[in-house]
Amino acid sequence: MAIRGHSVFLLLRKEVEAIGERRDINRELLEKMEVEYERYVNDLLGKKPEEIIKSSYETVIRDEILFMIEGNYFSHEQMMDLLSFENPLEICTTAWKECNEVDTEEIRESVDGYLQELKDDMKRKEEELMINNNDISFEIVEHIGVISQNQHGWAKELNVVSWNGKRPKFDIRDWSPDHTHMSRGLTLSEHEMKNLKDIVADKDLTIPAGSRDKKEKDYER
């Protein structure tokens, strides 16, 4: 009985942890989308009245998507995929307009399909950017850190790299998981890196984000 009770406790704890993780992901995605929405509105305010009117339907769609995110209408996997892109609100808006539906299930399926198209396109571009190691030699002299990583395992890294036996330089580019392939990137000399460090040292690197009033809306599941 004690063993069974312990197993139930572990299952409940895992469930609570999963709920907490989903809540955190939902909050992060919502905050990211709200920043994107604010940029969209600010850009819209700079347009002519007739252009604003033409954009009214798209503005409504973006509002509705934010309400759906607030209401947890997207799956854990969908939210994780959306977080991996810079413009999740734009992605959902495009998917909504393509399916031309108002049913939440249809919208979710359309978002799934559009996300898969984007991921396939990203993978194709990464393959196109791969550099054949037979054409160039390199040595990663020092691995400094990972800046970001996408869903395919490729990581944007800051390293010190020697290319074709030349003097090592600071290097920012995407690398495959086994570091046998890489994308095009940016190299910086020691002097350039020191200048960059000085430039950002006293800067607030937070991208400005406004806040928008929350509205309450009930959805029928």
CA gap 47, 54 in Å, rounded: 11
Q: Which residues pair with 145 in a beta bridge?
A: 158
CA distance 11 to 71: 25
Residues 100 and 11 in one domain: yes
- The pLDDT assigned to 8 comes to 58
pLDDT the model gives residue 218: 42
Is 194 contained in some domain?
Answer: yes
Residues 73, 6 share a domain: yes
Same domain, 97 and 38: yes
pLDDT at res. 11: 64
What is the extent of the structural domain holding 196? Answer: 132-201
Q: Is 36 in the same domain as 115? A: yes
In this structure, the answer to whether residues 87 and 166 fall within a common structural domain is no
61 falls within a domain: yes
- pLDDT for 4 equals 56
Whether residues 142 and 77 share a domain: the answer is no
Query: Does some domain include residue 208?
Result: no
Q: Do both 51 and 120 map to the same domain?
A: yes
Residue 207 lies in a domain: no
Looking at 126, 145, 169, which one is the last position of a domain?
A: 126
Flag whether 213 is in a domain: no
Q: Which of 126, 143, 165 is the last residue of a domain?
A: 126
> Residue 167, CB half-sphere, CA atoms under 13 Å: how many?
3
Q: Which residues sit opposite 170 in a β-bridge?
A: 160, 188
Q: What is the pLDDT of residue 109?
A: 87
Long-range contacts of 185-192 (CB under 8 A, 24+ apart): 187/161, 187/163
- The answer as to whether 190 is a domain residue is yes
Predicted confidence at residue 148, as pLDDT, reads 92
Do 17 and 121 lie in a common domain? yes
**In a shared domain, residues 83 and 163:** no
Q: Is 221 domain-assigned?
A: no
pLDDT value at position 202?
Answer: 83
Indicate if 107 and 51 belong to the same structural domain.
yes
Q: What's the pLDDT at 39? A: 93
CB distance 97 to 55 below 8 Å: no
Instruction: Report the domain count for the chain.
Output: 2
d(CA 36, CA 187): 30
Domain contains 52: yes
Q: Are residues 138 and 176 in the same domain?
A: yes
- Residue spans of the chain under pLDDT 70: 1-19, 101-102, 126-135, 208-221
Query: What CATH number is associated with residue 193?
Result: 2.30.31.70
Beta bridge partners of 163: 138
Among the three residues 76, 105, 126, which one is the final residue of a domain in this structure? 126
Do 65 and 158 reside in the same domain of the chain?
Answer: no
4-57 per-position pLDDT tens digit: 555 655 666 666 666 677 888 999 999 999 999 999 999 999 999 999 998 898
